């Protein structure tokens, strides 16, 4: 069970901070990254845990994209803040998609040697999103890229 220390936070600021943190790590890689935020989105959440979520998702997008772009969008849909992280990377096979949120699942073996990781990042991401009464959905296609949508309830 994930323990949260909640406060009213700006989803836009958290995603912006996450992108800045990740892009400094991947500065030498020739990828374009853009962030589109159309309106201020305020939610009740644990700032440090949400940073963990978006640093992980954006970092994965950079890690698995050798060329092309990472696109991040923060928007409001009905009573939810939505963050979409999409990339033009290697993608995830349809066979693997159902398992990516399982602890220690690391998918295709050649990918693991190149990028490392213990296979717990996405399990932690899902647990944090669930603890915020949110949802996470992934769509992916091999050699075309991956899109992750995180939905979090607006301030209640």
Residues 6+ apart with CB under 8 A from 30: 67
What local confidence, expressed as pLDDT, does residue 3 receive? Answer: 87
- CA 109 distance to own-chain centroid: 22
What local confidence, expressed as pLDDT, does residue 149 receive? Answer: 98
What local confidence, expressed as pLDDT, does residue 28 receive? Answer: 62
pLDDT category at 67 given cuts 50, 70, 90 is confident
Domain assignment present for residue 78? The answer is yes
Give tens-digit pLDDT for 128-154.
999 999 999 999 999 999 999 999 999
Task: Give residue 59's domain range.
Answer: 7-153
Name the residue with higher pLDDT: 47 or 121: 47
Domain assignment present for residue 2? The answer is no
The label of the residue with tokens 């845990």 reads: 49
Q: How far apart are CA 137 and CA 100, in angstroms?
A: 11
Domain assignment present for residue 1? The answer is no
Domain assignment present for residue 123? The answer is yes
Domain assignment present for residue 60? The answer is yes
Q: How far apart are CA 21 and CA 147, in angstroms?
A: 20
Give tens-digit pLDDT for 91-118.
999 999 988 988 766 665 444 444 455 5
Give tens-digit pLDDT for 15-40.
999 999 998 777 666 788 899 998 89
Tell me the CATH number at 99: 3.30.565.10
Domain assignment present for residue 48? The answer is yes
Say how many domains are in the chain. Answer: 1
């Amino acid at each position: 069970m994930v323990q949260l220390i909640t406060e009213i936070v700006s989803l836009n600021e958290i995603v912006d901070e996450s992108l800045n943190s990740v892009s400094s790590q991947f500065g030498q890689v020739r990828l374009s990254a853009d962030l589109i935020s159309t309106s201020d989105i305020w939610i009740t959440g644990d700032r440090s845990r949400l940073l963990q979520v978006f640093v992980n998702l954006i970092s994965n997008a950079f890690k698995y994209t050798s060329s092309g772009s990472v696109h991040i969008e923060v928007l409001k849909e009905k009573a939810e803040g939505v963050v979409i992280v999409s990339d033009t990377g290697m993608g995830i096979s349809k066979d693997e998609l159902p398992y990516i949120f399982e602890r220690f699942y690391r998918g295709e073996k050649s990918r693991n040697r190149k990028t490392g990781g213990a296979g717990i990042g996405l399990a932690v991401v899902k647990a944090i999103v669930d603890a915020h009464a949110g949802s996470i959905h992934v769509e992916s296609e091999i050699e075309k890229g991956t899109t992750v949508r995180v939905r979090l309830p607006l301030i209640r």
